[in-house]
């Protein structure tokens, strides 16, 4: 009986963890979109200058600033270069978060920007969404976690010889079988 309750507790824990996945992914996507919008706003004037003099190429604008004889312009080249690199990073993150849900999860698990991921995690407020994808994630994680816990417990029990012993049933005791 204890094993049954333990299995339910593990399932409930998995369910609660699983329903957090879509909320976290959504928060990350919103954070990326907000940073991207702010980055685009900060580059607006430089984009206009690049469009006017360098056919829209911000990297050519940065190269021009770096090649300048004016020390102030060369100093600003690093600042603008940082803004351009940040805008490119945020654009690639934003594009990654526009894909299907499984691509978003894979991106977050393997290739997400660590600073944005940590920022999202630090600001994340646990929530229970009643959206279908949250329900599916909750049930899926709950079942998998309960199944893994059951396998682990059975494996430990089998290895240590702990567990239920098979008691012979009356018809198994018959000598003439």
- Alpha carbon of 33 to those of 16, 37, 60, 131, 161: distances in Å? 27, 6, 26, 21, 55
Query: Is-contact 94 36, C-beta < 8 A?
Result: yes
pLDDT of 25: 93
Question: Mapped to the 3 state alphabet, what secondary structure does 78-115 carry?
Answer: HHHHHHHHHHHHHHHHHHHCCCCHHHHHHHHHHCCCHH
pTM of the model: 0.73
What contacts 61, CB < 8 A, 6 or more positions away?
Answer: 46, 49, 50, 53, 54, 80
Integer Cα distance of 100 and 93 in angstroms: 14
pLDDT of 96: 95
pLDDT of 170: 65
* Cα 138 to chain centroid, rounded: 15
pLDDT of 171: 62
Nearest to 89 by CA among 54, 118, 115: 115
Our CA dihedral for 155, 159, 161, 166, rounded to 10 degrees, sits at: 50
pLDDT of 146: 87
pLDDT of 154: 82
pLDDT of 167: 67
pLDDT of 176: 62
Nearest to 21 by CA among 123, 104, 110: 104
CA geometry: angle at 132 spanning 129 and 133, to 5°?
80
Q: What is the mean pLDDT of each run of 10 residues along the chain (177 residues)?
A: 76 86 93 96 92 92 90 88 94 95 94 95 86 86 88 83 66 61
Structure confidence by residue, pLDDT tens digits, 72-109: 888 889 899 999 999 999 999 999 999 998 999 999 99
């Amino acid at each position: 009986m204890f094993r049954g309750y333990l299995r339910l507790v593990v399932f409930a824990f998995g369910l609660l963890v699983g329903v957090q996945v879509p909320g976290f992914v959504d928060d990350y996507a919103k954070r990326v979109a907000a940073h991207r919008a702010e980055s685009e706003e900060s580059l607006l004037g430089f984009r206009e200058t690049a469009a006017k003099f360098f056919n829209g190429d911000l990297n050519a604008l940065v190269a021009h600033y770096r090649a300048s004889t004016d020390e102030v312009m060369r100093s600003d080249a690093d600042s603008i270069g940082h803004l351009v690199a940040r805008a490119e990073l945020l654009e690639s993150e934003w594009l990654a978060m526009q894909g299907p849900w499984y691509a978003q999860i894979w991106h977050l698990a393997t290739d997400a920007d660590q600073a944005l991921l940590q920022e999202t995690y630090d600001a994340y407020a646990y929530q229970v969404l009643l959206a279908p994808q949250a329900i599916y994630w909750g049930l899926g994680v709950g079942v998998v976690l309960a199944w893994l816990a059951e396998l682990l417990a059975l494996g430990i029990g089998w290895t240590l010889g702990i567990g239920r012993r098979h008691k012979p049933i009356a018809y198994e005791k018959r000598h003439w079988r």
